[in-house]
């Protein structure tokens, strides 16, 4: 992400320091992570101390300070999904992509994350890829689902 | 500014509007233990050690004295069975992180806190925020901040700023109630010289 785009995002929020979290969220959703340069740019432009930006960027789970894949997979391991076999679903994703929760593959294609309840337990086991929910998952469906993502 | 009369530990205390209970007590020579309070800094209310008991219409209530503003006719008790019990617990929890901290040991003796009550996890920092806030509020350097949250929360220097500002300042070192800062600083110093080519 280049500086112009960052400046544009900042302008969208009128360069107000109170919009710090919104600005970071926009960068995160477009770029999938917050590079050091971006954080420094935001701090400078919004005139917020770097320590504060850093605190916020590390506080919320929504932000990532390491590169993320193009597609973010969230596997629910909440109670309801767990008893319906979420662990086995998770295993198939780990095996298929070759990464563990919290990691990203070398091609920056997928990031894997576990969550504790996506709020639709009746559909369990549930996974979510790029915000799209896939319910009633089964280990045998994993390959099929992954095929749809480039 | 109007004068406010209140009662602390049975003593009549005159305070100014806008003062906190802690400040009022201090001005009357009444001691309340604190960890995250510093007179040059904005009240933080982080450690809760300065908790006191208020009595109002026969009810008692616990408030944090370093952030609670004085009110007319308040009846304040800086020590009671309940207050002491809470302080003891706070100290025991903090000593799981910083068992050898001098300040904590002294307070532990006063309140009968057992430093071995909880399993040790010596992270040393008890998140009082004195170093972070001093750097931001007094020195306005913002060289040090917190990162992460909950049990993983820790202090972190910004190498680029630290390499310029900290060497000649170090005023946050003596503020730390657990003396964790030195180690952290040395570590970042190493990091900073590793990452940036030193100027001058
Ligand atoms: S390093 Fe020391 S002064 Fe800084 S927040 Fe931790 S305990 Fe407080
Ligand atoms: S536990 Fe998975 S959606 Fe609720
Ligand atoms: S001194 Fe009041 S909360 Fe720490």
pLDDT digits (tens, 9 = 90+) for A56-77: 999 998 899 989 889 999 999 9
Q: How many CB atoms lie within 10 A of CB A2?
A: 10
Q: Residue A21 belongs to a domain with what CATH number?
A: 1.10.10
| Chain-chain contact of A58 with B149 (C-beta, under 8 angstroms) | yes
- DSSP assignment of chain A: --HHHHHHHHHHTTT-GGGHHHHHHHHHHHHSS--HHHHHHHHHHHT--HHHHHHHHHHSTT--SS---SEEEEEE-SHHHHHTTHHHHHHHHHHHHT--TT-B-TTS-EEEEEES--S-GGG-S-EEETTEEE-S--GGGHHHHHHT--
Average pLDDT on A22-38 reads 94
pLDDT per residue as tens digits for the range B35-87: 999 999 999 999 999 999 999 888 899 999 999 999 999 999 999 999 999 99
Shared domain check, A53 and A18 = yes
Is A96 a domain residue? yes
Q: Considering only CB atoms, which chain A residues are within 8 Å of B132? A: 51
The domain tally of chain B equals: 3
Residue whose Cα lies nearest atom 2 of ligand 1: it is B176
The number of domains in chain A is 2
Q: Which domain covers residue B93, as residue numbers?
A: 81-122
B156 vs A59: CB contact, 8 Å cut-off? no
CATH number at residue A89: 3.40.30.10
Q: Which residues line ligand 2 (CB under 6 A)?
A: A 76, 78-81, 117-121, 124, 126
For residue B128, the ligand 3 atom closest to its alpha carbon is: 4
* Dist CA B18 CA B4 (whole Å): 10
Flag whether residue A49 sits within 8 Å of chain B, measured between CB atoms: yes
Q: Is B162 on the interface with A (CB under 8 A)?
A: no
**Residue span of the structural domain in which A9 resides:** 3-59
Q: Which residues of B touch A61 (CB under 8 A)?
A: none
Same domain membership, residue B158 and residue B106: no
Tell if the CB–CB gap between B142 and A54 is shorter than 8 Å: no
In angstroms, the CA B32 to CA B50 distance is 6
Pocket-testing residue among B34, B177, B179, ligand 1, by greatest number of atoms within 8 A of Cβ: B177
pLDDT by residue (tens digit) across A105-138? 999 999 999 999 999 999 989 999 998 999 999 9
In a domain, A93, yes or no: yes
Same domain flag for A79 and A31 = no
Q: Give residue B87's Cα distance to chain centre.
A: 13
Pair (A143, A75) in one structural domain: yes
**Mean of all residue pLDDT scores within chain B:** 90
**Residue A31 and residue A76 share a domain:** no
As a whole number of angstroms, the distance between CA A105 and CA A4 comes to: 28
> Is residue A47 in a domain?
yes
Order of strands, sheet of A110-115, starting from the edge strand that comes earlier in the sequence: A110-115, A71-76, A127-129, A132-134
How far is Cα B104 from Cα B108, in angstroms, rounded to an integer?
Answer: 6
pLDDT at B183 over 70: no
Q: Which atom of ligand 1 is nearest to the CA of B172?
A: 3
Which residues are registered as beta bridge partners of A49? none
Q: Are residues B22 and B64 in the same domain?
A: yes
For residues A90 and A77, the answer to whether their CB atoms sit within 8 Å is yes
A67 Cβ partners below 8 Å, 6+ apart?
A32, A33, A104, A108
Q: Side-chain half-sphere of A74: how many Cα atoms within 13 Å?
A: 18
Is the minimum distance from the CB of B47 to ligand 3 under 6 angstroms? yes
Name the DSSP letter for residue B162. H
The two beta strands, B11-16 and B3-8, are antiparallel
Same domain assignment for residues A47 and A113: no
- pLDDT value at B197 more than 60: no
- Distance (angstroms) between ligand 2 centre and the Cα of B122 equals 35
> Same structural domain for residues A92 and A34?
no
């Amino acid at each position: 992400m280049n500086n112009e785009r960052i400046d544009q995002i900042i302008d969208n929020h009128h360069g107000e320091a109170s919009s710090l979290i919104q600005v970071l969220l926009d960068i995160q959703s477009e770029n999938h992570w917050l590079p050091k340069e971006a954080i420094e740019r935001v701090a400078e432009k919004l005139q917020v101390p770097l320590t504060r930006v850093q605190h916020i960027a590390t506080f919320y789970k929504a932000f990532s300070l390491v590169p993320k894949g193009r597609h973010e997979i969230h596997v629910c391991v909440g109670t309801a999904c767990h008893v319906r076999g979420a662990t086995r679903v998770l295993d198939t994703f780990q095996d298929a992509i070759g990464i563990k929760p919290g990691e990203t593959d070398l091609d920056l294609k997928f990031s894997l994350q576990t969550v504790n309840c996506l709020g639709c337990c009746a559909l369990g086991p549930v996974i979510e890829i790029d915000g799209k929910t896939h319910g009633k998952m089964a280990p045998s469906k994993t390959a099929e689902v992954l095929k749809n993502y480039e | 500014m109007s004068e406010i009369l209140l009662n602390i530990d049975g003593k009549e205390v005159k305070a100014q509007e806008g003062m906190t209970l802690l400040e009022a007590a201090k001005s009357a020579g009444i001691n309340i233990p604190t960890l995250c309070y510093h007179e040059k800094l904005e009240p933080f209310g982080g450690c809760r050690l300065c908790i006191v008991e208020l009595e109002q219409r026969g009810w008692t209530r616990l408030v944090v004295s370093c952030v609670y503003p004085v009110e007319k006719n308040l009846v304040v008790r800086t020590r009671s069975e309940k207050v002491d019990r809470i302080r003891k617990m706070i100290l025991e929890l903090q000593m799981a992180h910083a068992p050898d901290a001098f300040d904590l040991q002294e307070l532990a003796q006063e309140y009968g806190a057992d430093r071995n009550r909880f399993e040790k996890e010596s992270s040393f920092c008890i998140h009082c925020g004195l170093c972070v806030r001093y750097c931001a509020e007094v020195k306005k350097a913002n060289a040090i901040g917190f990162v992460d949250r909950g049990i993983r929360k820790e202090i972190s220097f910004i190498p680029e700023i630290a390499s310029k500002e900290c060497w000649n300042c170090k005023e946050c070192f003596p503020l730390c109630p657990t003396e964790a800062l030195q180690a952290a600083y040395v570590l970042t110093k190493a990091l900073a010289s590793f990452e940036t080519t030193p100027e001058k």
